[in-house]
Chains A and B, each alone.
Chain A
Amino acid sequence: MRGIEALVLLSTLSSSVLAAESSRPRGVGPEFAKFYKAADSFTCISNPSIKLDFSRVNDDYCDCPDGSDEPGTAACTYLSALSPPQPVVGAPNTTLALPGFYCKNKGHIPNYISHTYVNDGVCDYDVCCDGSDEWAGVGGVKCEDKCKEIGKEWRRLDEIRQKSARSALKKKTELVNEAQALRAGVELRISSLQVEIKEQEKKVEDLKKKYEEVERSERGKVVKSQGKGSKVTVLAGLAKQRVEELRDALIGLVNKRDELRRTVKELETILSTFKEEYNPNFNDEGVKRAVKSWEDYAAKKDAAAEIDESAEDRDIEEISKPDSETEGINWAEWETEEESDVEALYKFEEYLPASLRDWVHQKLTDLRIMLIENGILADNANSGSESKVVSNARTAYQTLNDDLGIKQSTVGDLTNDLEKDYGPDDIFRALKDTCVSKDSGEYEYELCWLDKTSQKSKRGSGSTGMGNFVRFDKLYVDEEIDAEGKGLGTGERTVLMYENGQHCWNGPNRQTTVVLACAEKDEIWKVVEQEKCMYRMDVGTPAVCENGQRKADSKKDEL
């Protein structure tokens, strides 16, 4: 099988080969010259058992099953796995022996082109600048040799390309340096933070101890009345406040629910009208799916018996009414309770002598703490009131501890960042947070390195996310490179995958495959929608340039 893809670029030509050139049959490249030396007979290259009279070479009839007797005509082009099969005799080697028709292209670079281009009536100057592909002049076509001008122009552009390639490599080195510096910066920051953390951890430990001590001692103290009234009345006050908050929230929620119900109703009306009125001739899969799922939705809704919500609503209405003497809780009854006997009993300490009183007090406190610590008595630390001492100690401890947490998580983030894939040499670290954009027909596209891709329509409507960066990948491509050296070329290329962009009408979530090739500056060359809402961006950047490597066969397309 042959084809343009089988084109081989000959980058070097030895002078001895050049000397032998004139004796080669038409279309034969120098490396195959040896097969065509015998004067009287020709042996099929891959099928040595087949010998032909030399007059059969290039006689426009295909004799060799490997096509080697017709290096200069299109006679053997039907020998191809892409052509309809024909009966063959025996089991010859049918692999094509020649890479193509050899265009000498004197004054430029020699090239093999597909034999299917030979004598088809078209001058294929882009691959065969000397016009030798149309030697028979079929239909009166004349292809003059244009290698001089094409070669000159190519060399001019190639110089620019090489210059640009050198400069691209330089830029790449700068990027690598920048990336290394950025990495070093991160590492530095981590180590200084780690030092700080170590010190701070100790301080936090101290403050924690202190706080716990203070708190422990405070815990033993009996709650001193904070105002008039007992704990029950305090509780009642708090409870009332809470109940009112909850009630307000409930009313708010009910209102919101009603509003949403109205919205749903409105949407359902729109949708059922839509279902009646939509036009199937718009041939829109999405509309059809939408109608179908609306029908399913409506059917499901009909099927589920309407739950009677009136009782529930009545309850809610009842609950929502403000409390009063006759409705709900009569808070007044709770807020004004007299001092009880139990409370008076607690005051017996006041009748004891001071020394004894202190002793008893101490014992009582110890007992209380013991009881609290054993879970027998409730801890009043949670009861809402806390002494100033405790809260100060706690604040001091917590503030420092929080700060420590931030520092620790910063270290975590930074460490993760160091481990994150920024490509070889960490190079994309230098590009992170920068973006490039391109004006392409209807849209302006934007690529933010390792962040997101987006498109903005020129016909209004805002920016659409085309994906968020998820990973690096590799892709084999076989693409054109234009005269200015823009284009992916042929070979394996670095790919940035951006996924989970905005959902597409009738389609998937948008995603972008960003394919990178070496260029002097960051530039989006081309954006194509390969499949519905699956985009490919061909992007040039110095970040993927490699020393000594050129994008394969970058010359071919400018020939």
Chain B
Amino acid sequence: MRHSLMLSSRWTALLVVISALCCLFSPAISVKHENFKTCDQSGFCKRNRAYADTAAATSNWEAPYRIAPESLTWNNGQLQGTILKTINTNGDTVRLPITISFLKSGSARVVIDEEKRQKGEIELRHDSKIRKERYNEAESWAIVGGLDLSKSATEERGSAKSHVKYGPAGKFEAVITYAPFGIDFKRDDATQVRFNDRGLLNLEHWRPKIEQPEKKEGEEASGVSAGEDESTWWDESFGGNTDSKPRGPESVGLDITFPGYEHVFGIPEHAGSLSLKETRGGDGHHTDPYRLYNADVFEYTLDSSMTLYGSIPFMQAHKKDSTVGVFWLNAAETWVDVIKQKEAHNPLSLGIGSKTDTKTHWFSESGLIDVFVFLGPTAKDVTSAYGELTGYTALPQEFAIAYHQCRWNYNSDEDVKDVDRKMSKHNIPYDVIWLDIEYTDDKQYFTWDPLSFPNPTGMLEQLDKSERKLVAIIDPHIKNKDGYHVVEDLKKKDLAVHNKDGNIYEGWCWPGSSHWIDCFNPVAIKWWIGLFKLDAFKGSASNLFIWNDMNEPSVFNGPETTMPKDNIHHGNWEHRDVHNLNGMTFHNATYQALLERKKGEIRRPFVLTRAFYSGSQRLGAMWTGDNQASWGHLAAGFPMILNNGIAGFPFAGADVGGFFGNPEKDLLTRWYQAGAFYPFFRGHAHIDTRRREPYLAGEPYTGIITQALRLRYSLLPAWYTAFHQASVDGTPILRPHYFQYPSDESGFAIDDQFFVGGTGLLAKPVVTEKAESVDIYLPDDESYYDYFTYQIYSGKGKHNVVAPLEKIPLLMQGGHIFPRKDRPRRSSGLMKWDPYTLVIVLGNSGEAKGELYFDDGDTFDYQLGAHVHKEFEFKDGVLSSKNIGSKGKLTDKFLNSVKSVGVEKVIVVGAPKAWEGKSTVKVGSGQAGLEYHAAEGNKAAWAVVRVPKVAIGEDWKIEF
């Protein structure tokens, strides 16, 4: 039906011939590595690594960078001066302005620029019209706050070093060494982060190209150019594309050491473990640095440092009881080398008490050195400080955290309606159905295929009947076709990305020949917003939301499947400078567009993105791209999602079922059980796969999948509460062990089990084939209970939890209270008025605490107080509900609207034996029934309070 896919009929005909030639073969599944650069094929990567090797091999290596002490000035928490880089044996130097800012938040920022470029005193080659400065606008896209300078920081300048005290209670200190330049960031007098420890600081200063006389044939390259390999300075070719590099070499690099830290996490997106591996070869290590260069990597491989669709250059280092972090604010292609070195402090106790230093080396192709340093001491402090700068996760629409049913493609509006009916018929809850590219008329966004989607409005109306939504894809490539109003406008208004010659850039993507909207341009954003107005986008409605794919950008015929680096964006910045930001600018434009599609109706947007950068968390959700229907990919999902979460972008998920290939039914079932714990929970499938809507699996699979979905739905109040917390302080939604238990060294590297928000729910979904059980690691001696049976597990260490296909290994940690809504409905929107169930999980102390946050799940009224935020506490036999929300203009109105919503039951897991025989509890002046169920075998005692008749929005007490 869609074999016309994207092949011209000529190709189709040819391929039919070929497929006739071929009979049986297994498809070779693997990334086309040759489409993506290794470090060796990336000029500046190779140069910076070579620089590092030279430094390591040179005894008494001294970095040629020193601060001119007389240049230093201190003003309001900011130290400014000039670094002199010695560029030859004559002692000639270039001037590099440096600014070190100490922020009110306790973070520090180091920016190093280059004077000549800053002042425009350089010449561009090829008559290029691009800007001469190093790119200095990443901040305007990524940073939204937290830049206030510290008023309490103090500087003490010496002849060789400058000491700055800053941070909370002045506990932090930065020691800036002048020659060679270096900075030690200390907390409580101990160095936590060290800049230029290995002397790898490198800022490739501007130089004119000196034309070498043409080499005569047979003549070997003479060693004139004192060791520096200039072959990649002036142009670089890869895969048939040549990068013209009008500014010559301009990379920046810096080494950052974390003394005594054995683990580093973060710098997504990579398909690998949460704890980053070493990258300079050796047993089990990567051979290439972790690369950050947003790219549409086809069929990516697992356990790899290869780049993927998005980048967040934010890293945390963790050791017992301490977490610190760095944020490398640079949007150009970036690589990060990681090595770990053991240092025995006492030579007599080799191995024992020896500590490991993690040494990282960061380099980017262009732009500034702009690094933030966070000194913790907790992981929460670090993510929170990072979030203060780049923004916290947007509080999503409530439906957005429910289940999404997607497929490339639902073939018609009738198909969509049919799936919608069948989900209802099979009592399977879902909130959103999705349309991939085939819904459009000939891949022209903002249009509907007139034959297969003749009535989008009718389709949206049917979905709306059960409060369901539609998400349609809209990508940044605009089909280059006469008569298509969007492309004609784009061209007329000159809002597209340009090529190096300043003409509109043309490349290939799904629609064939296309142009790319340049969302760095504020005028383009304004225009884009207009396209989404309900009266402009025919067939759209307020329950239609958007998916932005291919925004790396993916360009099928471009170098590394993306744009040429010498393309030119708004403001005459090269694509090279802004590549990693590109996806976020498009995501941002769509976010802006969805805010107010109908005049006066401002609602929270929902936009899914594939490409991302620091700050994308403010705009919507991401997913891990085109994974495969394999157990390996199922297992790879959690480390990736955890890593995204601690890097400030927790609204993340992997395609449930696997995008490529057909999952076996047990794999599909396990994947739904895992997906029920993805912050972003979407089933998706490639166009060549068999249909796999949950009701098609058959029993027992459909039933088990439905249980997993209903588990997610019943816990939506807890998930929403976790999202709210992430939206105010950046705490990840899925929390890894090191985050929750910073002292427990054996848990630092764990990335296959996690806690859900602050609920105390500890999950380890099964990700291996034919598993009968899993070993769950308990980080403390608290009591844990099986979520479904209340079986007790206690004692630090590993515990075997039986997990046949129908069972999700999920434990409740003692000491927590979490909310549920147990009544199954067709969608989350239809659960709004249902009563809550509160689960109190009593721990060793006999006490428990928890929270509930909710609002209308749709508008921004919560910012005006239209929300309920409760803290529940069980202590001394009393359960109390206390308001912890802020009051605003709309608080009372909202409370009034939810006054009918109450608590239907309170379940107490691990109920005290003393309650045996107790049949009532006191609720205010009245009472409610209590059922007590004694412990049985290894199953805990539990009790249920029957309809306490308390409103969820009010403060109240229940006395047991």
Contacts and interface: CB of A to CB of B under 8 A. Distances in A.
Contacts of A226: none
A116 interface: yes
Interface residues on chain B, size class: 35 or more
Interface in B889-918: 897, 900, 904-905
B241 interface: no
Interface stretch (A41-49, A71-79, A367-375): A71-79
A122 B467 contact: yes
B905 A61 contact: yes
Contacts of B711: 84
B17 A282 contact: no
Interface in B778-804: 787-790
Nearest to A478: B425
A265 to B, nearest CB: 14
- Pick from B19, B691, B788 the residue with the most CB of A within 10 Å: B19
The 7 closest A-B pairs by CB, nearest first: A293-B22, A138-B833, A505-B3, A120-B830, A442-B451, A78-B822, A82-B706
Nearest to B467: A122
Contacts of B905: 61
14 contacts: A78-B823, A82-B707, A83-B710, A83-B824, A116-B427, A122-B830, A139-B897, A267-B17, A271-B18, A281-B561, A443-B1, A459-B4, A507-B688, A526-B414
Interface string A180-202: 00000000000000000000000
B27 A292 contact: yes
Contact of A441 (B421, B451, B626, B832): B451
Interface string B659-678: 01000000000000000000
A270 B835 CA distance: 66
Nearest to A297: B21
Contacts of A247: none
Contact of B452 (A61, A83, A274, A441): A441
A461 to B, nearest CB: 7
A89 interface: yes
Contacts, number: 189
Interface string B1-39: 101111101011011111101100101100010010000
B425 A5 contact: yes
A302 interface: no
Interface stretch (A167-175, A358-366, A528-536): A528-536
Given A82-B706, A120-B826, A122-B467, A531 B426 contact: no
Nearest to A278: B11
Interface stretch (B59-67, B198-206, B939-947): B939-947
Nearest to A526: B414
A427 B172 CA distance: 91
Nearest to A439: B451
Contact of A121 (B6, B703, B833): B833
Contacts of B298: 280-281, 283
A267 B897 CA distance: 72
Interface of B: 1, 3-7, 9, 11-12, 14-19, 21-22, 25, 27-28, 32, 35, 296, 298-299, 411-412, 414-415, 418, 421, 424-428, 449, 451-452, 454, 465-467, 508, 554, 556-557, 561, 626, 660, 686, 688-691, 703, 706-707, 710-711, 714, 787-790, 822-826, 830-835, 897, 900, 904-905, 933, 939, 942, 946-947
Contacts of A271: 14, 18
A82 B427 contact: yes
A108 to B, nearest CB: 20
Nearest to A271: B18
Interface in A466-503: 478, 480, 503
Contact of B707 (A83, A290, A455): A83
Interface in A261-314: 267, 270-271, 274, 279-290, 292-294, 296-297
A369 to B, nearest CB: 58
Contacts of B426: 3, 5
Nearest to B712: A84
Interface residues of A, number: 71
A289 B707 contact: no
B411 A504 contact: no
A78 B425 CA distance: 17
Contacts of B4: 459
A531 B691 contact: yes
Nearest to B909: A87
A354 interface: no
A85 B789 CA distance: 8
Given A83-B710, A289-B27, A74 B834 contact: yes
B830 A121 contact: yes
Contact of A60 (B706, B939, B947): B947
Given A441-B451, A529-B411, 16 more contacts: A4-B425, A4-B427, A5-B426, A60-B947, A61-B947, A84-B787, A87-B942, A116-B427, A116-B825, A122-B467, A279-B561, A288-B28, A443-B1, A480-B421, A503-B16, A506-B3
A105 interface: no
Interface in A132-181: 136, 138-139
B455 to A, nearest CB: 11
A4 B706 CA distance: 15
A61 B946 contact: yes
Contacts of A356: none
Contacts of A287: 7, 15
A526 to B, nearest CB: 8
Interface in A14-68: 59-61
Interface string A398-432: 00000000000000000000000000000000000
B688 A284 contact: yes
A550 interface: no
A86 B451 CA distance: 48
A342 interface: no
Contacts of A267: 14, 17
A138 B825 CA distance: 14
A120 B16 contact: no
B690 A531 contact: yes
Q: Which of A4, A270, A288, A526 has the most CB of B within 10 A?
A: A288
A61 B904 contact: yes
Nearest to A288: B27
Contacts of A290: 15, 18-19, 22
A87 B27 contact: no
Contacts of B32: 280
Contacts of B427: 3-4, 80, 82, 114, 116
Contacts of B706: 82
A280 B28 CA distance: 12
Contacts of A61: 904-905, 946-947
A284 B451 contact: no
Contact of B1 (A3, A74, A293, A529): A529
B871 to A, nearest CB: 25
A5 B695 CA distance: 13
Given A282-B6, A461-B9, A532 B823 contact: no
A270 B17 CA distance: 12
A59 B947 contact: yes
Which residue of A82, A297, A461, A506 has the most chain B CB atoms within 10 A of its CB atom?
Answer: A82
A285 B27 contact: yes
Interface string A84-118: 11110100000000000000000000000010110
Contacts of A119: 833
B1 A442 contact: yes
A531 B454 CA distance: 22
B900 A84 contact: no
Nearest to B707: A84
Contacts of A74: 823, 834
B824 A279 contact: no
A446 to B, nearest CB: 15
A87 B790 contact: yes
Contacts of B424: 4
A249 to B, nearest CB: 28
Nearest to B25: A293
A345 interface: no
A458 interface: yes
